[in-house]
């Protein structure tokens, strides 16, 4: 068994949650130093600190899991090349959902489908995440109507859903049927104009070009890239775009190849901000239709990336099997508890 039977959470993740609970590092309360958590995991379970630290980082980075199990305080790294601080310099505590996972594993409440929601692609696994409310609704529908058609269950749950809001494409029918499916995860690439880019984002932009070209002509078309796939490195993306926008000596000798490889960009700016998230702005070169540049940007690795997925069973079968296995439990109560924990987490994020 590689995961908890009543929550679907991985055993290493559950071990981390147990350590936090034992030290009263609970939602809304004090946090505990990450270094101390790693020491306990090594001393009591023999988990190597390097491995446990990588799992802890994945749990603490808010762009990876739709249902976070812990809350991190301090520097757990960014989506680019900035690494996490040493575990002695940051802290963690249980999230409301992490507390629910432990309660389910201990039999204090009924089972909860956290593992089904989160999947494991954040650890290079095959199971993608799904929208929490949709999975809960599908389970409730099957409890009420055990013979609900598989197509209806699939329609309720919808496609895989990543917390960053990236678009998902691919053979979703194969995935739903429990077969291998390659999914495309695509950032949002929007044609707009400078007037629609918020002034605070322009001022908070990480590059000086933001103030220059986004305020010079507010009516000129620009392209905004955001909602990146959760596993993309944003520093590598903007570096790749900037590199492809540069002229090369051989472009004059091979103009046709230059047209195919060079991005027609006049200016590029990083307008990432705390509230706006990771966002890049591109000004098309003179005479370039913005839609042409948009389509070229979507081919950059990181703006679009591809992952291999497979569910252990067809999606409707997963839901029905989970309901049958737990039909003697108070699923109505545990699902409500999970919903309340999710709502509590949302309120906290809005307050921050």
- C-alpha distances (whole Å) from 124 to each of 96, 231, 306 are 25, 10, 12
Q: Check if the beta carbon of residue 9 is closer than 8 Å to that of residue 114.
A: yes
Query: Where does residue 265 rank: exposed (0-12), middle (13-18), buried (19+ CB within 10 A)?
Result: buried
- C-alpha distances (whole Å) from 104 to each of 111, 330, 335 are 5, 11, 11
Q: Is the pLDDT of residue 96 over 70?
A: yes
Q: Is the pLDDT of residue 2 over 80?
A: no
Q: What angle do CA 46, 50, 54 make, to 5 degrees?
A: 110
Q: How confident is the model at residue 350 (pLDDT cuts 50, 70, 90)?
A: very low
Distance CA 243, CA 261 (A): 10
78 or 260, which is more confident: 78
- C-alpha distances (whole Å) from 194 to each of 189, 214, 274, 285, 292 are 14, 5, 19, 15, 18
Residue 325, pLDDT score:
95
H-helix or E-strand containing 91?
strand 91-94
Residue 294, pLDDT score:
96
Q: Which of 290, 311, 342 is closest to 121 using CA atoms?
A: 311
Q: How confident is the model at residue 39 (pLDDT cuts 50, 70, 90)?
A: very high
Q: Check if the beta carbon of residue 104 is closer than 8 Å to that of residue 7.
A: yes
How do the domains of the chain map onto residue ranges? 11-163+313-351, 188-302
Q: Is the pLDDT of residue 29 over 70?
A: yes
Q: Which two tokens stand for residue 304?
A: 């679009």
What pTM, to 2 d.p., does this model score? 0.90
Summarize the confidence of residues 107-128 as an average pLDDT.
96
Q: How far apart are the first and last CA of the chain?
A: 37
Summarize the confidence of residues 171-187 as an average pLDDT.
97
Q: How confident is the model at residue 202 (pLDDT cuts 50, 70, 90)?
A: low
Put residue 273 in one of left, alpha, beta given phi > 0 → left and psi -120 to 50 → alpha: beta
Mean pLDDT of the chain: 90
Q: Which CATH architecture has domain 188-302?
A: 2-Layer Sandwich (3.30)
- CATH 3.90.199.10 fits domain 11-163+313-351: yes
Model confidence over 286-314: pLDDT tens digits? Answer: 999 999 999 999 999 999 999 999 999 99
User: What proportion of the chain, given as a percentage, has pLDDT over 70?
Assistant: 86
Q: Is the pLDDT of residue 195 over 90?
A: no
Distance CA 189, CA 314 (A): 32
Summarize the confidence of residues 6-17 as an average pLDDT.
95
- C-alpha distances (whole Å) from 282 to each of 1, 94, 192 are 48, 40, 10
Contacts of residue 214, Cβ cutoff 8 Å, sequence gap at least 6? 194, 197, 202, 205, 222, 269, 271, 281
Summarize the confidence of residues 212-217 as an average pLDDT.
69
Tell me the sheet residues that pair with 189: 225
Residue 330, pLDDT score:
96
User: What proportion of the chain, given as a percentage, has pLDDT over 90?
Assistant: 77
H-helix or E-strand containing 181?
strand 181-186
SS (H, E, C) 194-248: HHHCCHHHHHHCCCCHHHHHHHHCCCCEEEEEECCCCCCCHHHHHHHHHHHHCCC
Q: What angle do CA 54, 17, 91 make, to 5 degrees?
A: 60
């Amino acid at each position: 068994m590689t995961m908890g039977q009543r929550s679907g959470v991985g055993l290493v993740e559950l071990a981390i949650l147990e350590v936090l609970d034992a030290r009263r590092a609970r939602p809304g309360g004090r946090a505990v130093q990450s270094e101390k958590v790693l020491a306990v995991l090594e001393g009591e379970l023999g988990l190597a600190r390097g491995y446990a630290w990588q799992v802890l980082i994945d749990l603490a980075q808010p762009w990876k899991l739709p249902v976070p199990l812990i809350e991190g305080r301090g520097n757990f790294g960014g989506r680019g090349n900035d690494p996490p601080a040493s575990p002695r310099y940051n802290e963690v505590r249980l999230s409301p959902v992490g507390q629910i996972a432990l309660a389910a594993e201990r039999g204090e409440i009924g089972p909860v489908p956290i593992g089904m929601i989160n999947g494991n692609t954040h650890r290079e696994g095959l199971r993608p995440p799904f929208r929490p409310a949709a999975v809960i609704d599908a389970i409730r529908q099957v409890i009420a109507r055990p013979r609900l058609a598989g197509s209806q269950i699939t329609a309720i749950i919808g496609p895989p859903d990543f917390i960053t809001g990236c678009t998902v494409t691919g053979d979703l029918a194969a995935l739903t049927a429990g077969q291998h499916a390659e999914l495309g995860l695509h950032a949002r690439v929007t044609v707009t104009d400078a007037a629609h880019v918020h002034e605070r984002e322009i001022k908070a932009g990480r590059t000086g070009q933001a103030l220059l070209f986004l305020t010079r002509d507010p009516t000129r078309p620009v392209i905004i890239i955001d909602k990146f796939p959760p596993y993309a490195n944003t520093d590598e993306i903007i570096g790749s775009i900037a590199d492809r926008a540069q002229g090369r000596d051989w472009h004059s000798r091979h103009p046709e190849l230059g047209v195919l490889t060079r991005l027609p960009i006049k200016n590029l700016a990083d307008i990432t901000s705390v509230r706006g998230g990771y966002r890049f702005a591109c000004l098309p070169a003179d005479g370039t239709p913005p839609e042409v540049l948009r389509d070229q940007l979507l081919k950059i690795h990181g703006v679009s990336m591809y992952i291999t997925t497979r569910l252990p069973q067809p999606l409707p079968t997963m839901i029905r099997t989970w309901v049958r296995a737990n039909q003697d439990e108070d699923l109505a109560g545990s699902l409500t508890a999970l919903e309340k924990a999710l709502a509590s987490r949302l309120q906290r994020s809005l307050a921050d």
